[in-house]
Structure 1
């Protein structure tokens, strides 16, 4: 059970935990945390990373602002516009200018409200919006009110705006378990204030999720929200409760995705997306997704409410796959069992690589392998160091061959999955995932190796994970037919994989892909749909 927010933070002489005193306590926790972060940040680049400051590219701000302006449907003479994490004020600037440019004389005043915990950012935002006021002139009155404050603390009393535009901090806050830790106190505070954002790690919290929740609470019914968030939040399990809560109260007007290869954010190698929504529930509304691709082109996907529910479910777990056909293609894999359910198949990790070189010795017969020591289908056994193992019997995968694959796999790589078979007496570091198929015979390993190195795995991994890792938990979810030594198609795949392993080039890779398609009952047109979905066609 999670510790009560007030435990450990109140004076011991206080007789009750009256929540009328809660804001003062929350402010103290917030101040202590932010003082430690800002003082530790040092130079500007480190400071920005520490605080999660990654300012929105102008093209992205303008895209959000244009869509919001096109969806304005009120006759108000004054609009209240909020950015709860305003940084240097560029998103407030963009929306103010777009509204002014499209104003037909009805709107006379814009109240621009911003919050940030960084005094330098507040000053920059004030200067920027002063310049905006000068450019706009007398067309619309700008009333600017910027405050240096932790907006997260306004969980129960958020500003109620007509429009909220924001890019919350992109940082995962990990806390030590020491009672006096500023991080632990702040993590506990935010988990209490925003329970829908709590992930699987009790001592960590993703501030982008908390910012999303805070922004959604800050728009009155019928108002509009425009937000920039990491793309992973559209599909990761940890954000599922947040998405469900969001969809109870909001209707998405548009989702737009951006791959990291476009390099729109300076110093950020991460896919991201924007969401524009209206603060009212409308279950029958369609869903529009704009997918920006690596080559600068874009595609638009339109889903009816029934199609969106069929493909993405009630939590709108939206895979990062380009094209409507790709998302329907993904559904076909659901007829197969996940690898975690395959009989005699075990998916696991072996040893931690921390200071592993301290255990290297030529006097041992055991060998060690990590991600950098392997390629697709091949391993240079002569390059593997020998390692001392104190209790080798406790490693079940050490005494038989196994499939290993690289855990670290950047989404920008043309092929992310690098898997190979390693013989017995080799232990894998935790930069590798492992799969064994004991009791199924050696052919089973070649079968699973072919599946893992196929485009079908690339396709499913992309749909399941928005990170730069191919974890064991993700591989357990991959759906394929169980190995059957009596199935001619399965044995054909095994033989193609053996030829590829024996080759010094990729000459048999196409034969492996063809054999995988036959095992899955798919054709080359469907393979092309998967490659298009991966932006690899």
Structure 2
């Protein structure tokens, strides 16, 4: 990894190698579960972990054979990693595990190598691995002295990986700053390519690459190259990786067939099973709804079959909705001014549900920063950054003309400039029914324009004057808490949902308080 050497040589922070290589070892409970998912029978003659770390994944496989007639045909184990110390530890651990189960007939081969640069000339019956998860991009927190050399090394390494694993790159037109290689995507493709046709791949991956808008090419390539048998989802709240709160998945797949229906299991934070269902893949590049249960997903599909996507409001000449962002926040402080001629500047952290905080906003000098024309409109703005674990992910409000927003906020406005239209849109976007659709699409920390465009909106909320006026009135009279059962129920009814259906859609919102659920279920609201 060229950039790692460049960073270390430049005297970066002490843990730079761990950050850049995504060096977080698989929890033992997960490695044991992967071993349970491995093939049983006489087909496994060779096993490889191309990103072996301390070898624990293969050790779990060997330990499983202690209690089962398993791996009886195994003859060869191969371990790869760029970390020489880890490779030595892995080989010792694997040899000790083999000795414990009296398998002196199995050969162990290890090699210190960057697997991403390794020509794939051999394939194995079983590949089990947890590749690095990092996005290849510079970070000011890396504290690299020679940043230009560091950035050049990242670009050079990225080009090598992109040439070998094209679908590791961020989907076209979605890369930021030209840095578009994700090592988890590259590692997944490498693992597949190292697996024999008909062999099995067992892999640990961040859940984001199956739920985000930038991994469409990866999903299409991955799911067309293997038949996924099972996918198991672990929430960030489980905190299984020390120091990293991130949701992840384990996948069991066979190479050489295309993915069809597969078993999808979701775990709770205590690792008990939340739900289990058969998931049907319609389009290989589509996101997989990992944060949504089967019943909710079925309701979402019904909603989206009956109502237009938000993007339709962009195309409809009656509304001419516009979505976008306003100014880049990079080094934004350099454009601040004390002059009253400056334009007040709002960031994502200032925005709450249905309101924003405008005390002491800094001002942008219009001579040093181009102010977009959208500032003259009344706009709906929403926070771009929002963690999946938050009680409510969508945080939106209405912003009047004359205030400019940074790119930590998304912006939407109607060219028609009808205040009631915008308030109706705010009621819909901030609603539980809209947000459950967002959650079904995303598992990342970003609420993208692309995700919102794919969510359906109730056409009656915009076309029926009485419904639109009622939603606008409810937005005007909402309390400072930002919670309104009246708005939630009115929007739900606009979608055509009844009380029981709405209750089912509340399942993903585990942080709603009992009193809030009771208020939402108040029967008088549903008359």
Give the TM-score band, short-chain normalised: 0.7 to 0.9
Equivalent residue, structure 2, for 1:147: 111
199-208 vs 177-186, which moves further: 177-186
Equivalent residue, structure 2, for 1:260: 236
CA deviations on 1:463-485 (whole Å, 9 max, x unpaired) are 22221011233223322135536
Are residue 308 (structure 1) and residue 274 (structure 2) matched? no
For 2:201, what is the secondary structure of its paired residue? Answer: strand
Q: Is the 8 A contact 1:41 1:50 kept in 2?
A: no
For 1:412, what is the secondary structure of its paired residue? Answer: coil
Structure 2: unaligned runs, 5 residues or longer: 139-146, 314-318, 513-527
Equivalent residue, structure 2, for 1:339: 310
Are residue 103 (structure 1) and residue 69 (structure 2) matched? yes
In the alignment of these two chains, the number of paired residues is 491
Q: d(CA) in 1 for partners of 2:509 and 2:11?
A: 37
- Structure 1 residue ranges, 4+ long, deviating more than 6 angstroms after superposition: 175-180
CA deviations on 1:447-505 (whole Å, 9 max, x unpaired) are 111112111232122122221011233223322135536432232222111111xx233
Equivalent residue, structure 2, for 1:411: 388
242-251 vs 58-67, which moves further: 242-251
Equivalent residue, structure 2, for 1:135: 100
Q: Is the 8 A contact 1:322 1:534 kept in 2?
A: no
Equivalent residue, structure 2, for 1:13: none
Equivalent residue, structure 1, for 2:79: 114
Backbone CA RMSD of aligned residues = 2.7
Equivalent residue, structure 1, for 2:344: 367
Are residue 198 (structure 1) and residue 173 (structure 2) matched? no
For 2:167, what is the secondary structure of its paired residue? Answer: helix
Q: Could you say if the C-alpha distance between residues 42 and 369 of structure 1 is closer, same or farther in structure 2, counting changes exceeding 3 Å? A: closer
Q: Could you say if the C-alpha distance between residues 299 and 361 of structure 1 is closer, same or farther in structure 2, counting changes exceeding 3 Å? A: same
Q: Could you say if the C-alpha distance between residues 44 and 366 of structure 1 is closer, same or farther in structure 2, counting changes exceeding 3 Å? A: closer
Q: Could you say if the C-alpha distance between residues 40 and 476 of structure 1 is closer, same or farther in structure 2, counting changes exceeding 3 Å? A: farther
1:484-523 alignment to 2 at 5 Å?
484=462, 486-500=464-478, 503-506=479-482, 509-523=484-498
Equivalent residue, structure 2, for 1:23: none
Structure 1: unaligned runs, 5 residues or longer: 1-29
Are residue 85 (structure 1) and residue 61 (structure 2) matched? no
1:279-318 alignment to 2 at 5 Å?
279-281=255-257, 286-294=261-269, 296-303=271-278, 308-309=280-281, 312-315=282-285, 317-318=287-288
Q: Could you say if the C-alpha distance between residues 400 and 242 of structure 1 is closer, same or farther in structure 2, counting changes exceeding 3 Å? A: closer
Equivalent residue, structure 1, for 2:141: none
Equivalent residue, structure 2, for 1:12: none
Deviation of 1:393 after TM superposition, in Å, equals: 8.4
Q: Is the 8 A contact 1:294 1:535 kept in 2?
A: no
Deviation of 1:34 after TM superposition, in Å, equals: 4.6
Q: d(CA) in 2 for partners of 1:290 and 1:192?
A: 34
Equivalent residue, structure 2, for 1:466: 443
Are residue 481 (structure 1) and residue 458 (structure 2) matched? yes
**Pick aligned residue for 1:72 from 40, 64, 67:** 40
Equivalent residue, structure 2, for 1:14: none
Q: d(CA) in 2 for partners of 1:82 and 1:248?
A: 22
For 1:479, what is the secondary structure of its paired residue? Answer: coil
Q: Is the 8 A contact 1:485 1:491 kept in 2?
A: no
Q: Could you say if the C-alpha distance between residues 381 and 189 of structure 1 is closer, same or farther in structure 2, counting changes exceeding 3 Å? A: closer
Q: TM-score, normalised by structure 1?
A: 0.84
Deviation of 1:360 after TM superposition, in Å, equals: 3.3
Deviation of 1:290 after TM superposition, in Å, equals: 0.6
Q: TM-score, normalised by structure 2?
A: 0.85
Q: d(CA) in 1 for partners of 2:337 and 2:344?
A: 9
**Pick aligned residue for 1:379 from 349, 356, 360:** 356
For 1:384, what is the secondary structure of its paired residue? Answer: coil
Are residue 238 (structure 1) and residue 204 (structure 2) matched? no
